[in-house]
Structure 1
Amino acid sequence: MSATEASRKASEGAPRPRFGLGFTAVCGGMFLANLASGISSVAFPWLATSLTENALLISGVAVLLELPWLLASLPAGVFIDRADHRWTLVLTHLFRALIAGGIALAVATGSTELALIYAAAFLIGSATVLNENTSQVVVPRLVPSSLLERANGYLVMTDTVGGLFIGPWLGGLLLGASLTLPFAVEGGLFAGAAALMLLVVLAPRARELPNRTLRTEMAEGLRYFWGHPVLRTLGLFLGLLNLSGAIALSTQVLYAQTILGLEAAQFGLLFLAGGIGAMLGAWLTSTLERRLGARRILLISLAGNALSSLIVGLASNAVLVALAIAVGGMLSTIWNVLTVSYRQRIVPEEMLGRVNSIYRLLAWGPLPLGSLLGGVVVTVSEALTTREIGLRTPLILAALLAGALTIVGFTKLREGIWSPDYRAGGKD
Structure 2
Amino acid sequence: MRSQLGPSFWRLFVSSATSNLADGIGRTALPLLAASFTRDPLLISGLVTLAFLPWLLFALISGVLVDRIDRRKAMAAANVFRALVMTALGIAVLADVAGIPALYAAAFLLGVAETVYDSAARAMLPSVVRRDQLDTGNSLLSTEENVGQSFLGAPIGAFLFALFAAAPLLTNAVGFTIAAVLILMVRGNFRQVRPDRSTITADIRTGLSWLRAHQLLRGLMLISTAIVGVASMGEAVFVLYVLEDLGVPEAGFGLFLVAAGVGGLLGGAVAGWIGRRLGRIWAMVLADGLGGAAYVAMGLTGHAFAGAVLFGTYGVTVMVWNVQSMSVRQALIPTELFGRVQGAWRTLVWGAIPVGSLLGGLLASLASVQAVFVLSGGLQVVIAGAGYVVLNRHRDQLSAAFETATAEPSLERS
Tell me the TM-score normalized by structure 2: 0.93
Identify the match of residue 268 of structure 2 among 270, 282, 285: 282
Identify the match of residue 285 of structure 2 among 270, 279, 299: 299
- Paired residues of 1:73 and 1:360 also in contact (CA < 8 A): yes
- Paired residues of 2:63 and 2:343 also in contact (CA < 8 A): yes
How far apart, in 1, do the equivalents of 2:22 and 2:192 lie? 35
* Deviation (angstroms), 1:333: 0.8
* Deviation (angstroms), 1:206: 6.0
Identify the match of residue 375 of structure 2 among 381, 386, 397: 397
Does residue 251 of structure 1 match 2:237? Answer: yes
**Gapped regions of structure 2 (runs ≥ 5):** 405-414
* Deviation (angstroms), 1:326: 1.3
Deviations along 1:257-305, whole A, 9 cap, x unmatched?
A: 1111111221111111111111111111221122211122112112101
How far apart, in 2, do the equivalents of 1:21 and 1:314 lie? 47
Does residue 95 of structure 1 match 2:81? Answer: yes
How far apart, in 2, do the equivalents of 1:279 and 1:137 lie? 23
Counterpart for residue 12 of structure 1? none
* Deviation (angstroms), 1:183: 0.3
Change (3 A) 1:205 1:182: closer
* Deviation (angstroms), 1:211: 2.5
Counterpart for residue 311 of structure 2? 325
Change (3 A) 1:16 1:376: closer
- Higher Rg of the two aligned structures: 1
Does residue 422 of structure 1 match 2:408? Answer: no
List aligned pairs for 1:365-384, cutoff 5 A. 365-381=351-367
Does residue 111 of structure 1 match 2:105? Answer: no
How far apart, in 2, do the equivalents of 1:185 and 1:167 lie? 11
How far apart, in 1, do the equivalents of 2:331 and 2:256 lie? 34
Counterpart for residue 297 of structure 2? 311
Identify the match of residue 333 of structure 2 among 338, 347, 363: 347
Letter in 1 for 2:400: D
How far apart, in 1, do the equivalents of 2:103 and 2:195 lie? 38
How far apart, in 1, do the equivalents of 2:100 and 2:190 lie? 44
- Paired residues of 1:86 and 1:202 also in contact (CA < 8 A): no
Deviations along 1:298-330, whole A, 9 cap, x unmatched?
A: 121121011000011111111111111111111
Counterpart for residue 222 of structure 1? 208
- Paired residues of 2:85 and 2:106 also in contact (CA < 8 A): yes
Counterpart for residue 384 of structure 1? none
Identify the match of residue 411 of structure 1 among 368, 386, 389: 389
- Paired residues of 2:34 and 2:44 also in contact (CA < 8 A): yes
How far apart, in 2, do the equivalents of 1:205 and 1:122 lie? 28
List aligned pairs for 1:74-93, cutoff 5 A. 74-93=60-79
Counterpart for residue 240 of structure 1? 226
Counterpart for residue 177 of structure 2? 191
Secondary structure at 1:171 match in 2: helix
Does residue 266 of structure 1 match 2:252? Answer: yes
Counterpart for residue 120 of structure 1? 106
* Deviation (angstroms), 1:150: 0.5
Deviations along 1:61-97, whole A, 9 cap, x unmatched?
A: 1111111111111111111111111110111111101
- Paired residues of 2:132 and 2:402 also in contact (CA < 8 A): no
Deviations along 1:180-201, whole A, 9 cap, x unmatched?
A: 1010111111111111012111
- Paired residues of 1:74 and 1:361 also in contact (CA < 8 A): yes
* Deviation (angstroms), 1:414: 0.2
Deviations along 1:80-131, whole A, 9 cap, x unmatched?
A: 1111111101111111011111111111111112211111110011101110
Secondary structure at 2:248 match in 1: coil
Deviations along 1:139-186, whole A, 9 cap, x unmatched?
A: 111112221111111110111101122111211111111101010111
Does residue 137 of structure 1 match 2:123? Answer: yes
- Paired residues of 2:151 and 2:262 also in contact (CA < 8 A): yes
Does residue 201 of structure 1 match 2:179? Answer: no
Deviation larger for 212-221 or 302-311: 212-221
* Deviation (angstroms), 1:50: 2.1
Letter in 1 for 2:254: G
How far apart, in 2, do the equivalents of 1:323 and 1:90 lie? 36
Counterpart for residue 407 of structure 2? none
Letter in 1 for 2:177: A
Letter in 2 for 1:247: M
- Paired residues of 2:72 and 2:190 also in contact (CA < 8 A): no
Counterpart for residue 151 of structure 1? 137
Counterpart for residue 146 of structure 2? 160
Counterpart for residue 73 of structure 1? 59
Identify the match of residue 36 of structure 2 among 47, 50, 61: 50
List aligned pairs for 1:354-365, cutoff 5 A. 354-365=340-351
How far apart, in 1, do the equivalents of 2:399 and 2:202 lie? 35
- Paired residues of 1:342 and 1:417 also in contact (CA < 8 A): no
Change (3 A) 1:398 1:206: closer
* Deviation (angstroms), 1:417: 5.9
Secondary structure at 1:423 match in 2: coil
* Deviation (angstroms), 1:422: 3.0
Aligned residues: 403
How far apart, in 2, do the equivalents of 1:62 and 1:377 lie? 15
- Paired residues of 2:70 and 2:192 also in contact (CA < 8 A): no
Letter in 2 for 1:423: F
- Paired residues of 2:131 and 2:402 also in contact (CA < 8 A): no
**Gapped regions of structure 1 (runs ≥ 5):** 1-14, 382-389
Counterpart for residue 387 of structure 1? none
Counterpart for residue 4 of structure 1? none
- RMSD between aligned residues: 1.8
- Paired residues of 1:238 and 1:362 also in contact (CA < 8 A): no
